Structure 1
Amino acid sequence: MIRVFIDGAAGTTGLEIRERLAGRKEIEQITLDDATRKNSKKRKEALNAADFVILCLPDDAAREAVEMVTNPATRIIDASSAHRVAEGWTYGFAELEPSQAGAIAGAARVTNPGCYPTAFLALVRPLVRAGLIPVDFPLSYNAASGYSGGGRNMIEEFEDETKRGHTRTAFRAYGLGLAHKHVPEMQKHARMEHPPIFLPSVARTYRGMIGEVPLPLHALPRKPSLATIETALADAYKDSAVVKLVPADDTQLIMIEENAGTDRMTLRVFGNAERGQARLVATLDNLGKGAGGAAVQNLNIMAGLDPVAGLVL
């Protein structure tokens, strides 16, 4: 039996994690009621009484919570973006490298990946590792997320007609200044010399995500074929129960909601061999493998449990 405290359990990601942990006999959840969850003393007691703490908080609050943990036996999973490029934290994307799950298993401090970087890194990192994409190659990344990715404020903005700033838009682009907070995370963990050009957007769907990396194969030094790209990705995830490469059909219509409500991620390689161009496409749930599902997967790995226990695959 392990004791788990979710700090921020009332938020969007916290609720997702609670749902995945509910009913699991090997896990005891430490909970605080509405009257005490914002009480610093009670929170500190809960943080230090837990074997594992999962932080589902804004960045500054997550940093503050880490400082409150004085029990050396308490291990932390941070679902915020506060520590994704910080020294001393293990990056919690188990499929990122062949040794990543082992690193997570032995870590005291694990930082959950962002939803957007999860798709980008799944598509790009194996190709960089294989030498098919040079570390100094200019990349771009186009991605759209369900509006739940923006947390409670954005959910209300899309759903609550009485809220100031309510929108009826179907789709909108943002991050136009090319300074999105996820970019350093993508650059660091892909091990690229230059940040990718990131084109994020939000769509009128509660959950789901689609991310694309276009590749001019003819401009890459090794001029890899579509089959070579596909083989490299297939090899990278051949043993994964969570990330899968599936055959691509040019007649397919890939929907943002394809993996909504699950904790899996699906990859495809589309392209035109004659033109030497490829479209690498990933679909996932921004609240699943992009947030709550990843946190539960990391918890399982750290606790020595079945890595996919409690996940919807």
Structure 2
Amino acid sequence: MAQGTKSGSVPSIFIDGESGTTGLQIVERLQGRADIALRSLPPELRKDPSAKRDIFAEADAVVLCLPDDAAKEATSLAASLGSQAPKLLDASTAHRVDPDWTYGFAEMAPGQAPAIAASPRVSNPGCYPTGGIALLRPLVEAGILPKDFPVTVNAVSGYSGGGKSMIAAYEGEGAPSFELYGLSLEHKHLPELQLYSGLSRRPIFVPSVGDFRQGMLVSVPLHLDVLPGRPAPADLQAALEKHYAGAEWVRVAPAEANGKLEPEALNNTNGLELRVFGNAKRQQAVLVARLDNLGKGASGAAVQNLELMLGIGAANRMGKAA
């Protein structure tokens, strides 16, 4: 039996909020797999507390694809089941900086994948923080980037990251071709971006959305001449390559010679690519992460985390090897 199986030969998974963008993508990625059993509730019972409690008790893992308040309520429901509580994977922002939850970015640090595998409660990362943390944390850990360094993170995402209302706007009429947002500097992804990057100074984060369905670029500009030791672009590249050596889903790639990068190349995958675009003469660099905001930025990461938590699939092999 796979790790954590309550009954039967394969673990069962219930997605609470399966009709949302992330939930639908997770279902699509899991359908047809022989190593799990997907559980579901009829639409008329999805908000019935009794029906939800029963299916929570039967499931080995529950994925919460819900607004924050509803995710907290579902967490309380699971806790009330005691020994029958399922493992929880929360795709909302409700628990991402909660110390009682394990952060679900398996490649973030040595030992993170086994920690996810052993945890009963895992928070699925946000799409923007996945790219930002992937770029910044290795440089902080290597001592190249001081923890209190003033960092700016810029990003552009496909409109699917905004949920049903934004999808409807862009696939209808009236949405702009490109738009900056979050200019109050209070974006909900900032706490996890700062915490898991290892920064003591709150970064400036400027997100944006373009008129394409999915895909994402996250970029961090740096003045190398004001960093300790005045590192060269090659030093940043080497730090990233060392950190992610052997990672299955994260690749440190060479910068394109033409100095261009488009956001959609990794759509419908769980891949994450990192690049250093540098100008040694000018002592400047721009770090760039490319990912699918619905893949490694949401549903792809969720499936990877479920595999670790339940002891199945390729991610489980990665966890054992870590």
Q: Do structure 1's residue 17 and structure 2's residue 26 form an aligned pair? A: yes
Structure 1 runs, 4 residues or longer, greater than 2 Å off: 306-309
1:129-168 aligned within 5 A: 129-161=141-173, 166-167=174-175
Ranges in structure 1 where 5+ consecutive residues have no aligned partner: none
Cα deviation, 1:92-145, whole Å, max 9, x if unaligned, reads 000100111011011010000100000000000011011110111110000001
Deviation at 1:252, TM superposition (A): 4.4
- 8 A Cα contact 1:118 1:290, kept in partner: yes
Report the secondary structure of 1:153's partner residue.
helix
Match of 1:99 among 108, 111, 115: 111
- 8 A Cα contact 1:243 1:265, kept in partner: yes
Q: Distance in 2 between matches of 1:58 and 1:2?
A: 26
Ranges in structure 2 where 5+ consecutive residues have no aligned partner: 1-9, 317-322
Cα deviation, 1:54-110, whole Å, max 9, x if unaligned, reads 100011110010011124341100001110111200000001001110110110100
TM-score, normalised by the number of residues in structure 2: 0.92
Partner of 2:14: 5
Partner of 1:231: 238
Match of 2:46 among 27, 37, 41: 37
Q: Do structure 1's residue 120 and structure 2's residue 143 form an aligned pair? A: no
Report the secondary structure of 2:44's partner residue.
coil
Q: Do structure 1's residue 90 and structure 2's residue 90 form an aligned pair? A: no
Match of 1:284 among 291, 311, 322: 291
- 8 A Cα contact 2:62 2:89, kept in partner: yes
Deviation at 1:178, TM superposition (A): 0.6
1:264-275 aligned within 5 A: 264-275=271-282
- 8 A Cα contact 1:119 1:211, kept in partner: yes
Q: Do structure 1's residue 190 and structure 2's residue 190 form an aligned pair? A: no
Partner of 1:174: 181
Deviation at 1:308, TM superposition (A): 4.3
Deviation at 1:250, TM superposition (A): 3.0
Match of 1:60 among 54, 69, 74: 69
TM-score, normalised by the number of residues in structure 1: 0.95
Q: Distance in 2 between matches of 1:233 and 1:155?
A: 34
Cα deviation, 1:13-53, whole Å, max 9, x if unaligned, reads 00110111111111011111212112221112112211111
Report the secondary structure of 2:47's partner residue.
coil
- 8 A Cα contact 2:259 2:277, kept in partner: no
- 8 A Cα contact 1:209 1:285, kept in partner: yes
Cα deviation, 1:166-225, whole Å, max 9, x if unaligned, reads 42x110000111111111111111111111100100111110100100111111012111
Higher fraction of helix: 2
Q: Do structure 1's residue 303 and structure 2's residue 315 form an aligned pair? A: no
Number of equivalenced pairs = 304
Partner of 1:202: 209
Q: Distance in 1 between matches of 2:108 and 2:12?
A: 27
Give me the CA root mean square deviation: 1.2
Percent identical among aligned pairs is 50
- 8 A Cα contact 1:52 1:76, kept in partner: yes
